[in-house]
């Protein structure tokens, strides 16, 4: 069977990687290339279909991104989205103009009517909601095109030339707000381009491994492993690609959850890599002794992490490549460009500038979180690592309020473990995006047996969120909270009271410090 690849031509829209992700979801391989891609490169890529993305410009503006018009003679189906649709119309003899009035501009959810005879809308409802974000209009539809969808304010929301396989939509099928957007993209891939959908995450893995091997050659590779999903998946991928040349440095700062350090180590044992676990607990706890101010704690940990990593890197000697587990949302959140550097500091407490390496490898840079998890499974990482909830770089240091001692950390570890265990028993993990225990610095009077106690109050925190920028507290069933509380006060010495944090973010944050 012919290799099936879709080329996505990037005109600078904000959802472009999302289009790529949607195509992958339909099991079709795709690549995103800038609009400056040459016709020879497009021919060499040999796509079964081309998608023009949206973009911030107006097609008639001076210097607006263009394509070589010969692209329309390749005999390859094209789907133009928003700017891409207008560009296609502009090149093929249509006319694009600014909206006549503010009311004619379309932003947001729009009720849209479809011609379901058009292949793009085959088997879909004749009316549904689309997500619009455009100020320009097609005043004249190019010759050979038929109108395929309209809204109350716009007669040509979608156009199609079925004979040539050209389709244009003014809305964004890739975003979730467009009700049947995924199916429309699927129709383009399967009904128009004739895809069979044989591509899998396993193929992604193989392609990524081949690319890493080619780049790294015989060079030495270093990776700072935090035990989080992203760095673990990056490590597994590199291990598979260039195992014997890879050194993973796992700085165990003694601020991990119960058994976490051992779990991370065990997960990487089967790979033929050089795995260094630096047991730096004493170093970190000594530096943190008596420190109560949250920002101080974070700074100390970030700084100490750099020192430990630097010491290990020096021992290893000249390293050619440094691997980072940057994923696509990190790139977006930090802004393009130097995003990788920004995130690495956030992720692992900062990597030293002084470590001598030639290049940074970011093999997950184009993947979304759930795709990273899928790749992790493909690589054989254990499920508990792949589905791990986020865990902050400074670890339990910011969940022990006030000064940190080994004893308090152990108390918290035990209580946190019980919370997670009870959540697992109740099969509630899917409803909670992050959940953990916090050892408050407050003590109160209690009664245990016949005696008085004066022990710490433990807080439970659980949030439900999609992006961690805002979050709601999870409505955990009372009986689960009851089981957690009872088990903790009965089995963890030093805790005589358990409370549940019912504050959203904002005004609170997810972590207490
Ligand atoms: P906040 O407390 O800011 O947390 O609402 C939002 C998310 O970020 C995580 N977090 C961190 N992650 N290094 C990290 O890698 C950090 O220093 C850090 N601080 C907070 C937090 O666990 C939550 O998922």
Closest residue to atom 12 of ligand 1, CA basis: 392
Closest residue to atom 21 of ligand 1, CA basis: 392
| Residue 321 and residue 221 in one domain | yes
Predicted pLDDT at 133: 80
Whether 65 and 11 have beta carbons less than 8 Å apart is answered as yes
| Residue 218 and residue 314 in one domain | yes
- Whole-number Å distance, alpha carbon 303 to ligand 1 midpoint, is 17
Closest residue to atom 19 of ligand 1, CA basis: 392
What end-to-end distance do the CA atoms of the chain give, in Å? Answer: 56
Closest residue to atom 8 of ligand 1, CA basis: 392
Residue found by looking up tokens 């940990």 in the block: 301
The minimum-distance atom of ligand 1 relative to the CA of 298 is 17
Mean pLDDT over 227-239 rounds to 94
Q: Which helix (H) or strand (E) holds 437?
A: strand 434-448
Identify the residues whose C-beta falls under 6 Å from ligand 1.
298, 346-347, 390, 392-394, 434, 468, 505, 509-511
Residue 341: count of CB within 10 angstroms of its CB: 15
421 lies in a domain?
Answer: yes
Predicted pLDDT at 335: 46
The minimum-distance atom of ligand 1 relative to the CA of 508 is 5
Predicted pLDDT at 142: 95
Domain termination site, one of 386, 408, 432: 386
509 lies in a domain?
Answer: no
Whether 122 and 96 have beta carbons less than 8 Å apart is answered as no
| Residue 159 and residue 245 in one domain | no
- Whole-number Å distance, alpha carbon 392 to ligand 1 midpoint, is 5
Task: Tell which residue, 146, 265, 225, has the closest CA to residue 391.
Answer: 225
267 lies in a domain?
Answer: yes
Lowest mean pLDDT among 279-283, 429-433, 436-440, 492-496: 429-433
Q: CATH number of the domain at 320, please.
A: 3.40.50.620
**What residues are annotated to the active site?**
82, 172, 174
Predicted pLDDT at 97: 86
Helix axes 339-348, 229-242, angle to 10 degrees: 110
Entry pTM: 0.77
| Residue 126 and residue 186 in one domain | yes
- Whole-number Å distance, alpha carbon 393 to ligand 1 midpoint, is 8
Mean pLDDT over 78-101 rounds to 90
Q: What is the DSSP letter of 349?
A: S
- Whole-number Å distance, alpha carbon 396 to ligand 1 midpoint, is 12
Lowest mean pLDDT among 130-139, 282-291, 440-449: 130-139
| Residue 188 and residue 206 in one domain | no
Lowest mean pLDDT among 112-116, 162-166, 236-240, 369-373: 369-373
- Whole-number Å distance, alpha carbon 435 to ligand 1 midpoint, is 12
Mutate to test the pocket of ligand 1, among 324, 392, 468, 509 (most ligand atoms within 8 A of CB): 392
Mean pLDDT over 100-118 rounds to 82
Mean pLDDT over 497-513 rounds to 96
| Residue 369 and residue 235 in one domain | yes
Number of structural domains the chain divides into: 3
Question: pLDDT at residue 182 above 90?
Answer: yes
Closest residue to atom 20 of ligand 1, CA basis: 392
- Report the distance separating Cα 94 and Cα 117, nearest Å: 22
- Whole-number Å distance, alpha carbon 511 to ligand 1 midpoint, is 7
User: Six-digit token pair at 213?
Assistant: 């091997």
| Residue 301 and residue 375 in one domain | yes
Domain termination site, one of 335, 360, 386: 386
| Residue 411 and residue 469 in one domain | yes
- Report the distance separating Cα 43 and Cα 503, nearest Å: 56
Mean pLDDT over 305-316 rounds to 87
Show the domain range for 114.
5-192
The residues pairing with 446 across neighbouring beta strands, listed in sequence order, are 453
The dihedral built from the CA positions of residue 60, 63, 65 and 66, taken in this order, carries a sign that is positive
458 lies in a domain?
Answer: yes
Closest residue to atom 9 of ligand 1, CA basis: 392
| Residue 364 and residue 437 in one domain | no
| Residue 108 and residue 149 in one domain | yes
User: Six-digit token pair at 134?
Assistant: 């455009």
| Residue 181 and residue 290 in one domain | no
Question: pLDDT at residue 339 above 90?
Answer: no
Question: pLDDT at residue 102 above 90?
Answer: no
Mutate to test the pocket of ligand 1, among 231, 344, 388, 390 (most ligand atoms within 8 A of CB): 390
507 lies in a domain?
Answer: no
- Report the distance separating Cα 154 and Cα 313, nearest Å: 61
The minimum-distance atom of ligand 1 relative to the CA of 471 is 5
Mutate to test the pocket of ligand 1, among 474, 511, 512, 513 (most ligand atoms within 8 A of CB): 511
Phi-psi region of 108 (alpha: psi -120 to 50; beta: other; left: phi over 0): left
| Residue 150 and residue 188 in one domain | yes
21-68: pLDDT as tens digits = 999 999 999 999 999 999 999 999 999 999 999 998 899 889 999 999
């Amino acid at each position: 069977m012919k290799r099936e690849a879709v080329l996505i031509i990037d005109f600078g829209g904000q959802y472009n990687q999302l289009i790529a992700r949607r195509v992958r979801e339909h099991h079709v391989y795709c690549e995103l290339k800038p609009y400056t891609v040459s016709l020879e490169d497009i021919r060499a890529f040999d796509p079964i279909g081309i998608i023009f993305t949206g973009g911030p410009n107006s097609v008639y503006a001076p210097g607006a991104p263009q394509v070589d018009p010969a692209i329309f003679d390749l005999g390859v189906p094209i789907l133009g989205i928003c700017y891409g649709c207008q560009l296609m119309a502009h090149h093929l003899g249509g006319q694009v103009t600014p909206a006549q009035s503010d009311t004619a501009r379309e932003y947001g959810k729009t009720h849209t009517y479809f011609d379901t005879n058009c292949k793009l809308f085959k088997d879909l409802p004749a009316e549904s909601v689309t997500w619009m974000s455009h100020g320009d209009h097609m005043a004249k539809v190019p010759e050979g095109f038929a109108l395929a969808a309209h809204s109350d304010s716009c007669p040509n929301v979608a156009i199609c030339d079925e004979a040539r396989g050209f389709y244009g939509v003014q809305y964004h099928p890739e975003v979730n707000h467009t009700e049947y957007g995924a199916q429309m993209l699927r129709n383009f891939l399967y009904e128009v381009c004739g895809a069979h959908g044989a591509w899998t995450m396993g193929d992604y893995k193989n392609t990524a491994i081949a690319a890493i091997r080619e780049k790294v050659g015989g060079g030495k590779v270093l990776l700072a492993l935090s035990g989080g999903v992203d760095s673990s998946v990056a490590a597994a991928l590199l291990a598979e690609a260039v195992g014997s040349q890879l050194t993973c440095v796992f700085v165990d700062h003694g601020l991990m959850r119960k058994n976490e350090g051992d779990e991370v180590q065990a997960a990487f044992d089967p790979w033929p890599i050089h795995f260094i676990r630096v047991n730096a607990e004493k170093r970190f706890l000594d530096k943190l002794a008596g420190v109560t101010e949250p920002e101080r704690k974070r700074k100390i940990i970030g700084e100490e992490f750099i020192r430990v990593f630097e010491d290990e890197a020096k021992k290893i000697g000249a390293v050619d490549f440094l691997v980072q587990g940057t994923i696509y949302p990190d790139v977006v959140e930090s802004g393009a460009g130097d995003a990788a550097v920004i995130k690495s500091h956030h992720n692992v407490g900062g990597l030293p500038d002084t470590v001598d390496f030639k290049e940074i490898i970011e093999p997950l840079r184009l993947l979304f979180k759930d795709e990273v998890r899928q790749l992790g499974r493909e690589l054989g990482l254990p499920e508990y690592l792949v589905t791990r909830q986020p865990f902050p770089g400074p670890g339990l240091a910011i969940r022990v309020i006030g000064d940190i001692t080994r004893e308090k950390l152990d108390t918290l570890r035990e209580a946190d473990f019980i919370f997670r265990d009870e959540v697992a028993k109740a099969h509630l993990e899917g409803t909670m995006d992050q959940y953990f225990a916090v050892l408050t610095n407050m003590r109160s009077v209690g009664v245990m047996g016949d005696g008085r106690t004066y022990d710490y109050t433990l807080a439970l925190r659980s949030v439900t969120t999609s992006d961690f920028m805002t979050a709601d507290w999870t409505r955990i069933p009372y009986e689960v909270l009851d089981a957690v509380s009872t088990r903790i006060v009965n089995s963890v010495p030093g805790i005589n009271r358990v409370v549940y944090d019912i504050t959203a973010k904002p005004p609170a944050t997810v972590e207490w410090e």
